[in-house]
Amino acid sequence: MSQAHKLLINGQLVEGAGTLDVINPATGATFVTVARANADQADQAVAAAKAAQPGWAALDLSERASYLNKLADAIDANADALTRALVQEQGKPMAEAGGEVAFTAIFIRHFAGFNGFDREIMQDDDALRIEARYTPLGVVAGITPWNFPLLLGVAKIAPALVTGNTFVLKPAPTTPVTSLMVGEMAADILPAGVLNIVTDANDLGPALTDHPDVAKVSFTGSTATGKKVMAAAASSLKRITLELGGNDAAILLDDIDVKAAAPKVFGGAFTNAGQVCIAVKRLYVHESQYDAMCEELAKIADETVQGDGLEQGTTIGPLQNAQQFEKAKGFLEAAKRDGTVIAGGDVAEDGGYFIRPTIVKDVPDDSPIVNEEQFAPILPVLKYNDVDDVLARANDTEYGLGGSVWSSNVDRAIELAEKVDSGTVWVNHHLHFGPHVPFAGAKQSGLGVEFSEEGLREFMQRRVISVSKA
Ligand code: ADP
């Protein structure tokens, strides 16, 4: 069968040893067939990255940056095609997909603007001069999930490349298309071997995480798979960055403007059909505003236009894949069993993977829809009357990715935000992230930091040069 998109190995676009049928989640039907790599091809990709790395690292920082800026230009120039492909492989509406494509170019340009770290001198006196230098790690493997398939891959590639590493990307099996399209652009821009892209059917992750020539794994995905990555990386003590699951709580203090906050909270929960690691997954509302907020959210949910993301007017798409659809149906059953569904609750069984945006109230904290990560368009709304109590409930989870506190009194919100046990806490918004902001999970939501200068350091080895002056 012909392969509409090929692998990128050593600067060449090559046929995969096998093929992957990519399903459009809005229809449940295959829309394109692409290359699928085997273990030999994954090895070839690592070997190409290893061979290219010394030459790439030897370039001036400004030369590497210039290559990256050309890649950003290519992404902008191909934005329409990327956006359509992203909608078809992932399911999100055109506006969200267009935003992801634009943000991808912004991430590249941000990291291409890296000017090197400030000099770190620990001691400089008559006896010693001790300073830190930074060198690249070598070959980095990036393993990405299916919720932001374009952005999350490129947001690993750009900082790794600008710091002198070379890269092998393995996107998620259900969303390989936009990554392979980036490979097609990179084939014309980057020196051979600097970036390699291999796809799989969920079978090549270990080939990369176990590989002796891979120095670092940058992984985004579920906490369960992240633990496997960490175990595999232990064999050669690889550097790892893990960005894993979350069960973000949004706490609305009793002084919020319900009508103004409701659409923002709704967006925080239902963007990308709830399939965002940092989405609002549990909403805590003070008892004095509980009924009003539930009513407002139900109204917004009922007004959403769900459908194929390619159709004009669609505001929310399907679940991304059949497996996630099945999981989401289980959460929906839990919501119906344990609480009261006040909006949504319907499942479409006509091919696409659709669940109507669902609001569930009066649900206990021990329901799976509250204490597990749903990754679906189903939001539990929980009542509280005491701030200390709601904080304890919000923090009672193994996850610690994000969270938010909402109030018309920002100081009051910040005071509470400082006690939310997670890597990011937003005040009066949720979901915001960017290349200049360190992104790191607390507890079982991750390890290490992505983005920002600190994230760049994670792609480098610090080397201390200690000079005796005696
Ligand atoms: P999901 O459970 O929704 O499929 P995962 O966290 O398992 O999400 O997937 C994220 C990425 O991790 C995907 O690219 C997937 O192919 C990859 N992956 C799956 N299993 C492993 C593994 N054992 N080692 C490394 N990567 C893996």
In a mutational test of the pocket of ligand 1, which residue from 152, 198, 202, 225 has the highest number of ligand atoms less than 8 Å from its CB?
A: 225
Q: Among residues 89, 96, 100, 243, which one is catalytic?
A: 243
Q: 350: pLDDT confidence band, cut at 50, 70 and 90?
A: confident
The whole-chain average pLDDT of the chain stands at: 98
Ligand 1 pocket, residue 202 CB under 6 Å: yes
Contact (CB, 8 A) for 148 and 123:
no
| pLDDT tens string 183-200 | 999 999 999 999 999 999
Site to substitute for ligand 1 among 20, 89, 174, 202, most atoms within 8 A of C-beta: 202
* Residues in Cβ contact with 377 at an 8 Å cutoff, skipping those fewer than 6 apart: 269, 270, 273, 274, 316, 319, 328, 344, 355, 356, 357, 358
Looking at the CA of residue 224, tell me the nearest atom of ligand 1. Answer: 6
Tell me, what's the pLDDT at 65? 98
Note the pLDDT tens digit of each residue in 83-142: 999 999 999 999 999 999 999 999 999 999 999 999 899 999 999 999 999 999 999 999
The contacts found for 406-410 with CB under 8 angstroms, 24 or more apart, are: 406/250, 406/251, 406/252, 406/253, 406/256, 406/261, 406/265, 407/252, 407/253, 407/255, 407/256, 408/255, 408/256, 408/257, 409/253, 409/255
Cα(14)–Cα(57) distance, rounded to whole angstroms?
Answer: 25
Candidate list 89, 96, 100, 277, residue with the active-site label: 277
Helix 177-189 vs helix 79-90: crossing angle, to nearest 10: 150
Residue 349 scores a pLDDT above 90 = no
For 137-185, write each residue's pLDDT tens digit.
Answer: 999 999 999 999 999 999 999 999 999 999 999 999 999 999 999 999 9
Strand partners, 251: 284, 405
**Dist. CA 205 → ligand 1 center (Å):** 7
Token output for 173: 């099996």
Could you identify the residue written with the tokens 């080895």? Answer: 461
Residue 294 known to be catalytic: no
DSSP letters along 291-310, please? Answer: HHHHHHHHHHHHH--BS-TT
Share of residues in the chain with pLDDT > 90 (%): 98
Q: What is the pLDDT of residues 212-240, one digit of tens each?
A: 999 999 999 999 999 999 999 999 999 99
Tell me, in angstroms, the distance from the centre of ligand 1 to residue 201's CA: 10
The pLDDT, as a whole number, for residue 234 is 95
pLDDT tens figures, 424-433: 999 999 999 9
Determine the average pLDDT of the residues in 294-319: 98
275 lines ligand 1 (CB under 6 A): no
The response to whether residue 378 sits with its C-beta less than 6 Å from ligand 1 reads: no
